[in-house]
Structure 1
């Protein structure tokens, strides 16, 4: 009985103590819990904290996707070997900005998915694809662009169509031309139907056409290497069609130039000249001196192949004028040397020497030793050829005046400057 009374008394004392400390204990307990939570967060890794936030917010799909990407990064790093070409950086789970960015936009995408806002879902994934623009993040960029473009719901939206344009450009950079072509063609089809603009306000249909022009140009390189001009021309014409409709005169001129070169290689010089004419018109409008110079060089080659020397000379003189006016000294020297060669092949050595000497002077100013040596050889050859022709003519004629010139030449060994052209009368003094 006594023990029962004592037990009841102890219970009353405990209850009184709890009532007495009731105002203080809850505050102490809450404070301890807060400290314990802060300490727990501090001890967790960055990866754990991000994942916990996503789970606490109810974004379980986003958590699963982020966790998958983090594991993929670990697998890529583990599989990478020295010299494998895989760019390694700081582990993804240690990069706060990237983890926070993925958490934010994946959570927004999942929230939009719950409400059926499929365009918003794609927009958030497009943002992530654009965010991971560094070369070492290519795999992440491709993941988010595909997760945007390949969605069953929202896959035909404006953001998804822009993602296809981005995929086409990325695959083109990687040399995966078939994949690039597939993505660009899908982008063009959808953008044509709806007239969408990309994030920078540019028409997506034009962006897709520019990508397709580059893709077809790259695809044409393989048949060109094997001299399969029919296949190359088919691809280049497709590219030219895209370029002409791209509203970008620069790439239209470049596409025309590529076609001209290919027709030239195939021996179809008339057709080549038609495309070169288009180039000169466009480059002239754009005031693109470099474009004009390379086009006139190519055009001169086609004209010369047809045996039209007079027109070739006119073309090269135009090339020299453009080069001189725009300070393109290397091209100017090349034009002079090519003009000299034309006159040399026509046995007009004096005229050839004039152009060779001009090319030599330009090369000297440029301090280009390779070009300078080339010009020196051409000048020497032209002069020697002229002297030999005149010497031979005097030997054959054996007239008193010819013999006097030969004796004079023997004494001076031809140290005088070349003063006449080979087309001059051989009886004229040449020493």
Structure 2
């Protein structure tokens, strides 16, 4: 048993006299969180940035920042609810972009207060270039507008570059009138200043290239595939058609294309100039002015030869053949395409395939089915080598259609004959369900069919 004076419970702490609570001395005050630290921990980043801007007197930065976030919210609320999942996250949920806006907006405001207008334009331009994704084009345009549309600094280098970016972006969106305004103003300011953009390119050249694209789009030049009978020729331009604009007269179209050529020449880009000449030639061809078309296309051939542009030569030969065919000069058109086929064997396989398709079209339209089958088959073989699935599908249809028409012609000629060999041929076809006038042609046809099927399977292994 425990002795007298001893507790029956064990001691939890030994030497408890040394375990006394340490008291804070006046030199060591308690640490409390400041009001600002509490707000930063409990409020959103958007609220903290707004408060910080206001506390530091950056009222204009706060106004722009809050306006942009409000616009983003309105855009999200006005879109189709089914497309919300494919929209980017709200701006207020992207800390990097919020900090980036705060940095450039406050620096731009400080520059404006001290009268450094060019530096303010630079800040807005840098901020606009930060938003580079396709879904953020509206943000880029918004900050580009702040850079060039201002009372002071609107003629600076940064404002001129902002105009170049805005012109290219408007052209991409199809706003041709806005793009034209921006490009013309950019060209005017770049001619006076002789500036380079952020990547070292001439702003004057960029404005002229934009003007070339704008005038070309305004001209409504239709694609070459609209001109019969070369229905498989490549399109004149990759620009989307402007279906909501009224049709233009021949004179207006040519005037716009001449302005495009002038802009291309002023830019010093020979490739751009050659493309402008080609568009003029094809447009003259479509309007029936074959003399002018031949002049422009011959000029284009010379420029492509100078630039060693094999693809451009292919386009020129196909356009020339189409123009010759429209004039009724069929033999010359065939020779032109044949020359392209012979010259494309060792240059560009795709040009060879397209030339063979055009030649097959021409022979098919004149009833020369054997020659049409030959060139369509060459196009099919070339598409297999290129492993170009869309081109392969086109060639398959053309080869099948031409061979089908050739077979119908053969069967019809046999049916019209009342000779004994013709009757025997029909009876043999009835028994075999396979048309072949002779044994050798039967073997050749079977071999061709097996080769075509094997080639198609190699391109589409999932069909096996």
Q: 1:289 deviation in Å?
A: 2.8
> Which has the larger share of helix?
1
1:320 corresponding residue in structure 2: 341
Inter-partner Cα distance in structure 2 for 1:69 and 1:153: 22
Partner of 2:374: 357
Counterpart position of 1:233: 254
Structure 1 residues 233 and 412: CA distance shift in structure 2, 3 A: same
Distance 1:105 1:369 in 2: 53
1: distance between equivalents of 2:317 and 2:377?
21
Indicate if the aligned counterparts of 2:257 and 2:276 stay in contact, CA closer than 8 A. Answer: yes
2:337 aligned with 1:333: no
State the alpha-carbon separation in 2 of the partners of residues 142 and 87 from structure 1: 21
Give, in angstroms, the shift of residue 187 of structure 1.
0.4
Change (3 A) 1:411 1:93: closer
1:227 and 1:86 map into 2 onto residues whose CA distance is 42
C-alpha offsets along residues 332-361 of structure 1, whole Å, 9 cap, x if unaligned?
43144146358x46xxx5xx7346324324
Contact (CA 8 Å) 2:354, 2:379: kept in 1 or not? Answer: no
What is the distance in 2 between the residues matched to 1:318 and 1:229? 32
2:65 maps to 66
* Deviation of the 1:103 alpha carbon: 0.9
Distance 1:64 1:170 in 2: 26
Query: Which residue of structure 2 aligns with residue 128 of structure 1?
Result: 127
Work out whether residues 213 and 260 of structure 2, in 8 Å CA contact, stay in contact via their aligned partners in 1: yes
Aligned counterparts of 1:411 and 1:208: Cα–Cα separation in 2: 75
- State whether structure 2 residue 307 is matched by structure 1 residue 286: yes
Kindly indicate whether residue 191 of structure 2 is the aligned counterpart of residue 170 of structure 1.
no
Task: Tell me the residue number matched to 1:258.
Answer: 279
Aligned to 2:457: none
Change (3 A) 1:98 1:75: same
- Mapped to 2, the partners of 1:388 and 1:72 lie a distance apart of 71
The whole-number CA distance in structure 2 between the counterparts of 1:365 and 1:122 is 54
How does the TM-score come out when normalised to structure 2?
A: 0.71
C-alpha change, 1:24 and 1:273, in structure 2 (3 Å) is farther
Partner of 1:276 in structure 2?
297
Which moves more between the two structures, 381-390 or 123-132?
A: 381-390
Larger-gyration structure (1/2): 1
1:415 to 410, 433, 437: 437
Q: Distance in 1 between matches of 2:27 and 2:210?
A: 67
> Are 1:220 and 1:235, in contact at CA under 8 Å, matched by a contact in 2?
yes
CA distance in 1, matches of 2:156, 2:86: 33
Structure 2 counterparts to residues 170-189 of structure 1, below 5 A: 170-189=169-188
Deviations 1:14-44 (A, max 9, x none): xxxxxxxxx9547526x32x55543332112
Deviation readout 1:74-122 (Å, 9 max, x if unpaired): 2333333336899743221221111111111111111111221111010
Compared CA separation, residues 153 and 296, structure 1 to 2 (3 A)? same
Q: Aligned with 1:102: secondary structure?
A: helix
Map 1:216-231 → 2, pairs under 5 A: 216-221=215-220, 226=247, 228-231=249-252
1:283-304 deviation line (CA, Å, top 9, x unaligned) = 3333333322222111101122
1:173 alignment partner, SS class = helix
What's the CA shift for 1:268?
A: 0.2
Residues 396-411 of structure 1: matches in 2 within 5 Å? none
- The separation in 2 between residues aligned to 1:258 and 1:298, in whole angstroms, is 10
Q: Is the 8 A contact 1:353 1:383 kept in 2?
A: no
Relative to structure 1, the CA distance from residue 27 to residue 78 in structure 2 (aligned partners, 3 Å threshold; closer, same or farther) is farther
Matched, 1:374 2:401: no
Normalised TM-score (structure 1): 0.76
